[in-house]
Amino acid sequence: MKPTQVGVIGCGNISEAYFNAAKTFKMMTYSYCADQNPAAAKAKAEAHGSKAVTVAELLANPDIEVVLNLTTPQAHSEIDRLALEAGKHVYAEKPFGIDLLAGRDVIELAKKKNLRVGSAPDTFLGGGIQTCRKLIDDGWIGRPLSGTAFMMCPGHEAWHPNPGFYYQKGGGPLFDMGPYYLTALVNLLGPVRQVTAMAGRGFPERTCTSEDRFGDRLPVEIDTHITGVLRFVSGALVTLIVSFDVIKHHCPCLEIHGTAGSLSCPDPNCFGGPVQYTSFDGRNQAWQDIPLPFGYTENSRSIGLADMVDAIRNQRPHRANGDLAFHVLETMCGLETAAATGKAVTIASTCERPAPLPLGLLKGSVH
């Protein structure tokens, strides 16, 4: 079977990881790419054997079945809608959108057109989080009761070539990094029922120290430190802290605690990483390192799209799907609202836990 032709819209900083990882998955090929900056599209095409075109040309091309949307968050919903209107399945970088109405419009349009919608992050399909999922599903920690999730750093202006959008609506630690943690948590524990939060911002503006923008001042328009509590439908309670106001810390990325044990999970922004487990038999037990029986522990951005392409061919649900992404979006919006109002927010949407990857997959396969 010929590989599915994918058209990439957005050839910025994140696209290189997608182009590189996609070569692992023979069921698809990134045949065309476009960007509002034609030079960026041309450079990416020359580097990866793709063809640079305009966005309009890409959307009008009947050979392209799927659009990979790697634009900035503020454009995700608009490009998703354009792709769907053009009759193409679409998979977008995170976050799924920056407001609920636009995200809901994308979901409803996809259902109307009988097309697939997918969204990053797909790091939960990596060997690290998949190992944690199996341990929980197999009962190693008993019934999950609680957890903690910490993503804290000093921001992106020291390294990112164009960091301004991180401090505008749709950016910040919650919408930039929150999807990794929340998607991993929903994968492990199921959907969220209710959230509460407090938030603040440490600085009114940021100063770039990256080479391309050194000395530029960036106005901060969003909260840069959010502390939230999530109650899951299962009853589990998780404390979440995401921040661009922390220089350095020793807090674990993600831990899940149950009636029979505790699990230390790897960084949800990565595909691999250490997994540790401990149980309780009347005395404190040392953490045990757990080997990762799953593959995809290296940077595999594109596996979520590959899974969607394979799912379309085999008429099965895909894992990094629109319902999951929309639920994570509503959870983030709920945290924002809770912080602004001081009141708990009930999450109206729900989703299924994505199917786990099976053991023993060959590299390049997803089922």
CATH number of the domain that residue 74 is part of:
3.40.50.720
Residue 208 located in a structural domain: yes
Residue 168 located in a structural domain: yes
Distance CA 264, CA 254 (A): 6
Q: Are residues 82 and 139 in the same domain?
A: no
Q: Are residues 137 and 35 in the same domain?
A: no
Looking up tokens 């900035």 gives 72
Chosen domain end from 222, 254, 289: 289
Q: Are 36 and 12 in contact (CB under 8 A)?
A: no
- pLDDT number for residue 8: 98
Distance CA 51, CA 33 (A): 6
Q: Are residues 194 and 225 in the same domain?
A: yes
- pLDDT number for residue 170: 84
Q: Are residues 176 and 93 in the same domain?
A: no
Q: Are residues 24 and 100 in the same domain?
A: yes
Q: Are residues 26 and 145 in the same domain?
A: no
Distance CA 240, CA 177 (A): 12
Chosen domain end from 289, 306, 332: 289
Q: Are residues 20 and 83 in the same domain?
A: yes
| Residue length of the chain | 367
Q: Are residues 179 and 133 in the same domain?
A: yes
Q: Are residues 221 and 115 in the same domain?
A: no
Domain limits for position 219: 127-289
Residue 224 located in a structural domain: yes
- pLDDT number for residue 282: 63
Residue 174 located in a structural domain: yes
User: Residue 312 corresponds to which tokens in the numbers above?
Assistant: 């379309």
- pLDDT number for residue 78: 97
Query: Could you list the pLDDT tens digit for every one of the 367 residues in the chain?
Result: 899 999 999 999 899 999 999 999 999 999 999 999 999 999 999 999 999 999 999 999 999 999 999 999 999 999 999 999 999 999 999 999 999 999 999 999 999 999 999 999 999 999 999 999 999 999 999 999 999 999 999 999 988 888 888 899 888 999 999 999 999 999 999 999 999 999 999 999 999 988 888 988 999 999 999 999 999 999 999 999 999 999 999 999 999 999 999 999 999 999 999 999 999 776 668 999 999 999 999 999 999 999 999 999 999 999 999 999 999 999 999 999 999 999 999 999 999 999 999 999 999 999 8
- What residue type is 205 in one-letter code? E
Looking up tokens 């919408």 gives 175
Residue 319 located in a structural domain: no
- pLDDT number for residue 212: 80
Identify which of 180, 173, 181 has the alpha carbon closest to the alpha carbon of residue 225: 173
Chosen domain end from 267, 289, 311: 289
Identify which of 124, 90, 93 has the alpha carbon closest to the alpha carbon of residue 109: 90
Which pTM value belongs to this model?
Answer: 0.96
Distance CA 321, CA 120 (A): 9
Q: Are residues 195 and 259 in the same domain?
A: yes
Residue 355 located in a structural domain: no
Q: Are residues 239 and 131 in the same domain?
A: yes
DSSP, residue by residue, 262-314: EEEEPPTTSS----EEEE-SSS----EE----SS--S--TTHHHHHHHHHHHH
Residue 343 located in a structural domain: no
Query: Could you give the strand order of the β-sheet that contains 117-119, starting from the edge strand earlier in sequence?
Result: 51-52, 28-34, 4-9, 66-69, 89-92, 117-119
Identify which of 266, 261, 291, 238 has the alpha carbon closest to the alpha carbon of residue 139: 261
Q: Are 3 and 27 in contact (CB under 8 A)?
A: yes
Instruction: Report the CATH number at residue 207.
Output: 3.30.360.10
Within 13 Å, how many C-alpha atoms sit on residue 317's CB side?
13
Q: Please classify residue 353 by burial: count the beta carbons closer than 10 Å to its beta carbon, then call 0-12 exposed, 13-18 middle and 19+ buried.
A: middle
As for how many domains the chain has, the answer is: 2
Q: Are residues 55 and 152 in the same domain?
A: no
